[in-house]
Chain A
């Protein structure tokens, strides 16, 4: 099952968990499952966060495919000068 890693600042919205295993063939399924379990995560993640799927950063995740062993990290979106 894919694993989603939450940054420290969001863990209190997920019962303190740093990693959550959830089913999903696409990132949207995984996130939907995450939000179902922890509804408070949806707003901060969709507003401010990007994900890194097996090392590839996706700022606006949608249909990206996952494998059974995918590691997804949630991180803050970045701008620049």
Chain B
């Protein structure tokens, strides 16, 4: 571990290497590439939420002049059902194909059923209109109650409930795809020891990641079988794997180049367009571009689960928690795979508890298959536990921060989901919020403040990095992780730190699947942690080469050379130091170009704990909630680039505020999404928010050379409950169902007054 004070460049606020291109409009995002001869693709989408496909007639579309390819679900392979390990995720390959293009049944309104490629957008649109799909409508299953009802309509007739161990005993077809319990101690004992017991149910609606850039890609299938894909994705190697699967090609035939990415938040870990564009390109022999509209994004790409959580807590009068029991029901959308597992595991991770039973259910409904959304599952679970703890604090007359301090985990605690925590900064973050004005200042009329904490595991996984030194002593760092929030700046800083040259002399580059070794996705808050680790190791590898070259130059054993401040130093002092640029300029005489490389499978990512306080003012006559102050504190380990770390906190808070107040999918009785646009899918706008104060608590993570923890996901975990708790304090009404939109809050205030 480096002494934190010893950093020269890490921790500074350098200008991001890709910044100029992005502020001048030159950076190329998913929809920005055009190739000669390129066709426009268009996807035909289901107009039913649940129906059998009787017949698809493509003949008219095929005969329209200017149409070069038409495909349907029958053009994709009929794969055996199996789980494909995708880094840390698992994906059922059959579900993946069925979601890419429906076969047999459509399972949500907007489900892809066919696709065309034509010489112009107009002709592609006309061709799409000419594809006639005959449906046999089925009853729609739009919520948990409908899915769980006896005699419920089944989305998948062959689906039985699985557990970690395999199918449940005596399996019967059901919409419940997965069941997972988390047990510790004995809850009966725990509740018997309680002096106060509270039990309530909390619900959340389907919400979308809401990235501003719609999904987009260009695929170019070459004669001879190779395919180039250019796309906006969080995981170019994932796109390669899944496209290869869908086309039954070896991965080595596919090159994926990630464009700049206009937001993802987990939603661009899912793959929708690329196999379709690639197949259209193979059929037409021309490059094909596919770009989703905003409406398609909202109708057909993964949002996160609507949820229902029943939670019961037991506590002593002094606030000591004795037991927690919870039942979490998560909608998966049309195919299994909701984030209920991480929800179960994260829900109580911040607390010392001896007696716990948390049960999670993964349940399919006729909505788009959910995709990862920033700390998947954790915000919904935290909404339940952090709300009920606020209620408990009120019941017991204990300050909500003190209640949490009393029960919070610290170094050495056993997390309820298994491991023992190393150094963590949860209590430091709680203390920091306690003295911040957003929490500490007096509140005015109709105002209230609310506190909640949040936890996310963070992940490590596989990363590759290359560090190449140029003849003038500057460096180029290559990784395989799309830069979704300023990660190039962090990579440049870490390489600069090791090499001892200013960050401005380091160019950070995102490679394609052929220019850099395998990298897992940009997700799980892993990039700065794991890919950063690879960059540090690659830079150290380059430094080792530099020391060798200095040793050669001086004709001394390499053991006599050390590296500091960008210079090779002869330890005995017989030779004047050689700077990096002197060594690279002379490289031709010492063995040629100098570079370093590293491949890691980073383990033991540092967990992230955050504590937030919202301050709101409620208009009791309209139910309108205005956020008037907000502070987010988080243990970030070590902030490589503090501005982008603060930005992660602020962005997560803003998304959480939107989730709490106004964002929701609104469906009609037939399962048609009524608000598939930014007009009525209401994300926060600039005038909705105050400045969002941040407090970066830096408790270095012992398993990273610089102490880095992932930071991107934790910030969205606390806001739901922090806001609900603040609204309860301001209005006197406890809202346990999200969103707390003005009509709902008004109704609750009125009902309470009546």
Could you tell me which A residues sit within 8 Å of B by CB distance? 5, 7-10, 12-13, 40, 44, 47-49, 52, 54-60, 71, 73-81
Comparing B277-285, B288-296, B451-459, the segment that makes contact with chain A is: B451-459
Inter-subunit contact A78/B342 (CB<8 Å): yes
B269 contacts chain A at the CB level, 8 A cutoff: yes
Q: Which of B436-444, B520-528, B635-643, B732-740 contacts A (4 or more CB under 8 A)?
A: B520-528
Residue pairs across A and B with Cβ atoms less than 8 A apart, 30 shown, are: A7-B418, A9-B163, A9-B181, A12-B165, A47-B83, A52-B420, A54-B420, A56-B422, A56-B604, A57-B419, A59-B601, A60-B603, A73-B418, A73-B419, A73-B420, A75-B345, A75-B419, A76-B180, A76-B345, A77-B88, A78-B457, A79-B89, A79-B376, A80-B266, A80-B375, A80-B376, A80-B458, A81-B265, A81-B267, A81-B524
| Contact across chains for B459 and A79 when beta carbons are under 8 A apart | yes
Mask for B164-198, Cβ within 8 A of A = 1, else 0? 11100000000000001111100000000000000
- The answer for the CA separation of A22 and B459 in the assembled complex, in Å, is 28
Question: A71: which B residues are within 8 A, CB to CB?
Answer: 420
Separation of A54 and B652 alpha carbons in the complex (Å): 32
Shortest CB distance A54–B (Å): 7
**Chain A neighbourhood of B525, CB < 8 A:** 80
A76 CA / B265 CA spacing, docked (Å): 22
Q: B624 at interface (Cβ–Cβ under 8 A)?
A: no
Give min CB distance, A38 to chain B, whole Å.
Answer: 11
A-binding residues in B (CB < 8 A): 83, 85, 87-90, 163-166, 180-184, 209, 264-267, 269, 341-342, 345, 372-376, 417-422, 456-461, 523-526, 601, 603-605, 703, 710, 713
Cα–Cα, bound, A9→B165 (Å): 7
Q: How far is the CB of A35 from chain B (nearest CB, A)?
A: 14
Residue of B nearest to A49 (CB): B164
* Contact indicator A47/B85 (Cβ below 8 Å): yes
Nearest neighbor of A74 in chain B, beta-carbon distance? B418
Complex Cα gap A80–B85 (Å): 14
Q: A78-B524, A81-B523 are in contact. Are A59 and B460 (CB under 8 A)?
A: yes
Residue pair A10, B165 in contact (C-beta under 8 Å): yes
B183 is contacted by which of A8, A75, A80 (Cβ under 8 Å)?
A8
A57 to B526, CA, bound (A): 14
Residues of B with C-beta under 8 A to A78: 88, 342, 345, 457, 459, 524
Contact B341 A60 (CB under 8 A): no
Expressed in whole angstroms, the Cα–Cα distance for A78 and B642 within the complex equals: 26
The residue from B165, B419, B421, B523 contacting A80, defined by CB atoms under 8 A apart: B523
Please judge, given known A-B contacts A9-B164, A57-B605, A81-B372, whether A76 and B341 are in contact too, CB under 8 Å: yes
Tell me which residues across on chain B come within 8 A of A5, comparing CB atoms: 418
Name A80's closest neighbour in chain B (CB-CB): B524
Provide the residues of chain A in CB contact with B85, threshold 8 Å: 47
The CA-CA distance from A5 to B181 in the complex, in Å, is 16
CB-defined contacts of B183 to chain A, threshold 8 Å:
7-8
What's the minimum C-beta distance from A23 to chain B, rounded to whole angstroms? Answer: 22
Contact in complex: B458, A55 (CB < 8 Å): no
User: What secondary structure prevails in chain B residues at the interface with A?
Assistant: loop
Is A9 a contact of B419 with CB atoms below 8 Å?
no
A13 to B265 Cα, complex, angstroms: 37
Residues of B within 8 A of A74 (CB): 418
- Collect the chain B residues with CB atoms within 8 Å of residue A40's CB: 165
User: Closest 3 CB pairs between A and B?
Assistant: A81-B266, A80-B524, A52-B419
Q: A75-B417, A81-B713 are in contact. List 11 more A-B contacts (CB 8 A).
A: A8-B182, A9-B165, A44-B166, A48-B164, A55-B420, A57-B419, A57-B604, A57-B605, A76-B164, A78-B345, A80-B523
Contacts A78-B457, A80-B376, A81-B524 given: A60-B601 contact, CB under 8 Å? yes
Q: Are A8 and B181 in contact (CB under 8 A)?
A: yes
How far, in angstroms, from A79 to B521 measured CA to CA in the complex? 10
Please give the distance in Å from A56's CB to the nearest CB on chain B. Answer: 5
> What's the minimum C-beta distance from B209 to chain A, rounded to whole angstroms?
8
* Among A44, A55, A80, residue most surrounded by chain B Cβ atoms (within 10 Å): A80
CB neighbours of A48 from chain B (8 A): 90, 164
Q: What residues of chain B lie closer than 8 Å to A77, measured between beta carbons? A: 88
Closest to A13 in B: B165
Alpha-carbon gap, A77 to B232, bound state (A): 26
- Across the interface, name the chain B residue whose C-beta is closest to A48: B164
Q: How far is the CB of B333 from chain A (nearest CB, A)?
A: 15
Contacts A57-B604, A59-B460; A79 near B524 (Cβ below 8 A): yes
Residue contact B376 to A81, C-beta cutoff 8 Å:
yes
Q: Which residue of A lies closest to B264 (CB)?
A: A81
Closest to B417 in A: A75
A22 to B241, CA, bound (A): 38
> Nearest Cβ in chain A — how far from B253, in angstroms?
27
Q: How far is the CA of A59 from the CA of B524 in the complex (A)?
A: 14
Of B90, B375, B417, the contact of A47 (CB 8 Å cutoff): B90
CA distance A59 to B462 in the complex (A): 11
Task: Give chain A residues whose Cβ lies under 8 Å from the Cβ of B419.
Answer: 52, 55-57, 73, 75
User: Which residues on the B side are within 8 Å of A7 (C-beta)?
Assistant: 164, 182-183, 417-418
Q: Give the residue name and chain of the A residue nearest to B357 (CB).
A: A8
B609 nearest CB across to chain A (Å):
15
Complex Cα distance A76/B422, Å? Answer: 19
In Å, the complex CA distance between A55 and B375 comes to: 21
The verdict on A81 contacting B459 (CB below 8 Å), with A10-B164, A55-B420, A75-B345 known, is: no
What distance in Å separates the Cβ of A69 from its nearest Cβ neighbour in chain B?
Answer: 13
Docked complex Cα distance between A66 and B266 (Å) = 36
Q: Which residues of A contact B459 (CB under 8 A)?
A: 59, 78-80
Is the pair A58, B603 in contact by a Cβ cutoff of 8 Å? Answer: yes
Q: How far is the CA of A5 from the CA of B184 in the complex (A)?
A: 11
B316 to chain A, nearest CB (A): 25
